[in-house]
């Protein structure tokens, strides 16, 4: 396989929302803080500073659980517009070094600096300069990973957090990849890690000991991906525009919904919000499927979906019934959405969701 060698930087702002709050109120820097929803409203932590992480507080954790772990935790409601403005400042700095920028969220992005003439073409020096400028001009810190591809750059940016940089040169790829645990591979969660372990795989070195055919037979297309990544191969380009694949809305309820009927009663409001959100894209995109997500009171979640081009309330009703039947217990969150077809030159198909 021919490997295209690139110079990729992955920049990741450290505890972004919390960092902005600490910048604007320095007194917060000496205490554990988090940005998230209120505990009495089933809130969830968006992010927290490193003092809070020492107590085990993590993103996506229920606020109530976070406060149990860290009773002195100060939870801030946050200001999304402020975070967007700060993100725009950071992205503007990135833009001065390359036009090939792929934002992954407000606080992280890939940069392809292969052909950049800044800093004499050195990706390492570019990353260092970006980090210094964000610190000086924006007032927050950024960790960066520099590597020949996106897979390795993203791992590298997490290698020396917070406020650090890690560089993997082409001649260091072999040694670096061999030591990696499979949990470092994007797409390998706890369940997939268990399946891999049952197959005798815990590291990238273990993956290499399996044949490509064995991996594909056991894990399908993901097996091919595992094989390539275990050799440090990732040919994905940095894409400056990302295609939206789905649109959805979800609500976490202040009190658990006790039964199916109470869940179904929430559908009209959810679908109205979904229709409003889709209206912003309906002239460009077509619907390819309907999706319902249910998260039960014990945080176990499931999704039900169906391929279709015209979504009616009855479709979502049946998907909700199907999803609920897998748990038959109180529900804390319901989400509804639809998959979008790949962009094409055909005429868009309007949803008849509320008509």
Q: What is the DSSP annotation of 165-198?
A: EEE--GGGHHHHHHT-BGGGSTT--HHHHHHHHH
Q: Position of tokens 């912003």?
A: 280
pLDDT recorded at residue 165 = 97
Is the confidence at residue 20, as pLDDT, over 70? yes
**How many percent of the chain have pLDDT more than 70?**
92
DSSP reduced 3-state for 319 = helix
Contacts of residue 136, Cβ cutoff 8 Å, sequence gap at least 6: none
Is 322 annotated to bind ligand? no
pLDDT recorded at residue 327 = 93
CA distance 220 to 89: 42
Is the confidence at residue 282, as pLDDT, over 90? no
Residues of the chain with CATH 3.40.1170.60: 16-80
pLDDT recorded at residue 142 = 97
Top-confidence residue, 191 or 57:
57
Query: CA separation (Å) from 298 to 102, 181, 315, 332?
Result: 36, 29, 26, 8
Q: What is the mean pLDDT of the chain?
A: 89
Q: Domain 16-80: which topology? A: MutS, DNA mismatch repair protein, domain I (3.40.1170)
Closest of 13, 14, 17 to residue 84, by C-alpha: 17
Report whether 177 contacts 156 (CB < 8 A): no
pLDDT recorded at residue 347 = 41
pLDDT tens per residue across span 35-91: 998 876 678 899 999 999 999 999 888 899 999 999 999 999 989 999 999 999 999
Q: How confident is the model at residue 113 (pLDDT cuts 50, 70, 90)?
A: very high
Q: Domain 246-340: which topology? A: Dna Ligase; domain 1 (3.30.1490)
Alpha-carbon radius of gyration of the chain: 23
Is 234 annotated to bind ligand? no
Do the bridges between strand 142-147 and strand 165-167 make them parallel or antiparallel, or are there none, so unpaired? parallel
pLDDT recorded at residue 348 = 39
Per-residue exposure over 219-246, b if at least 16 CB sit within 10 Å of its own CB, e if not: beeebebbbbbbbbbbeeebeeeeeeee
Contacts of residue 302, Cβ cutoff 8 Å, sequence gap at least 6: 293, 294, 323, 326, 327
pLDDT recorded at residue 355 = 33
Residues of the chain with CATH 1.10.150.20: 175-230
CA distance 293 to 316: 10
Architecture in CATH of 175-230:
Orthogonal Bundle (1.10)
CA distance 211 to 36: 45
289 pairs with which residues across the strands? 307, 339
pLDDT recorded at residue 345 = 45
pLDDT recorded at residue 283 = 63
- Report residue 17: phi and psi, to 5°: -60, -45
pLDDT tens per residue across span 295-313: 998 888 999 999 988 888 9
Is the confidence at residue 259, as pLDDT, over 80? yes
The DSSP-derived string for 212-244 is HHHHHHHHTHHHHHHHHHHTT---PPP-SS---
pLDDT recorded at residue 349 = 42
Q: How confident is the model at residue 191 (pLDDT cuts 50, 70, 90)?
A: confident
What amino acid positions are annotated as catalytic residues? 108
pLDDT tens per residue across span 335-355: 999 888 876 544 434 444 433
pLDDT mean over 11-28: 96
The DSSP-derived string for 21-69 is HHHH-GGGGGS-EEEE--GGGT-BEEEE-HHHHTTT--TT-BHHHHHHH
pLDDT mean over 153-161: 94
Report whether 291 contacts 246 (CB < 8 A): yes
> What count of Cα atoms within 13 Å lies in the side-chain half-sphere of residue 151?
22
| Torsion angle (degrees, nearest 10) of CA 166, 172, 231, 112 | 50
Is the confidence at residue 2, as pLDDT, over 70? no
Residues of the chain with CATH 3.30.1490.100: 246-340
Contacts of residue 81, Cβ cutoff 8 Å, sequence gap at least 6: none
pLDDT tens per residue across span 140-151: 999 999 999 999
């Amino acid at each position: 396989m021919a490997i295209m060698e690139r110079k990729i930087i992955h920049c990741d702002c450290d505890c972004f929302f919390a960092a902005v709050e600490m910048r604007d109120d320095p007194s917060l820097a000496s205490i554990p803080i988090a940005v998230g929803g209120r505990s009495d409203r089933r809130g969830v932590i968006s992010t927290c500073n490193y003092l809070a992480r020492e107590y085990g507080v993590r993103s996506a954790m229920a606020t109530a659980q976070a406060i149990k772990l860290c009773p002195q935790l100060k939870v801030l409601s946050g200001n999304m517009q402020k975070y967007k403005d700060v993100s725009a400042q950071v992205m503007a700095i990135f833009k001065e070094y390359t036009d090939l920028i792929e934002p992954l969220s407000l606080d992280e992005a890939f940069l392809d600096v292969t052909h950049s003439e800044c800093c004499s073409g050195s990706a390492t020096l570019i990353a260092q300069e970006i980090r210094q400028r964000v610190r000086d001009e924006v007032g927050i810190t950024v960790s960066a990973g520099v590597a020949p591809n996106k897979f390795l750059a993203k791992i590298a940016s997490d290698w020396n957090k917070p406020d650090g940089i890690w560089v993997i040169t082409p001649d260091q790829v072999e040694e670096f990849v061999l030591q990696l645990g499979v949990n470092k591979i994007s797409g390998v969660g706890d369940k997939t890690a268990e399946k891999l372990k049952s197959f005798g795989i815990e590291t990238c070195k273990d993956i290499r000991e399996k044949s490509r055919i064995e991996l594909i037979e056991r894990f399908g297309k993901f097996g091919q991906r595992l094989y390539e990544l275990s050799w440090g191969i990732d040919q994905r380009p940095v894409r400056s525009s990302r295609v939206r694949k789905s649109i959805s809305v979800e609500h976490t309820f202040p009190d658990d919904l006790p039964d199916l009927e109470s869940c179904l009663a929430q559908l009209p409001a959810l679908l109205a919000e979904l229709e409003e959100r889709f209206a912003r894209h309906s002239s460009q995109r077509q619907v390819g499927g309907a999706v319902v997500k249910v998260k039960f009171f014990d945080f176990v979640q499931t999704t039900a979906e169906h391929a279709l081009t015209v979504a009616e309330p009855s479709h979502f009703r049946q998907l909700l019934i199907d999803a609920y039947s897998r748990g038959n217990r109180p529900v804390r969150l319901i989400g509804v959405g639809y998959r979008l077809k790949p962009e094409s030159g055909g005429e868009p198909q309007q949803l008849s969701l509320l008509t």
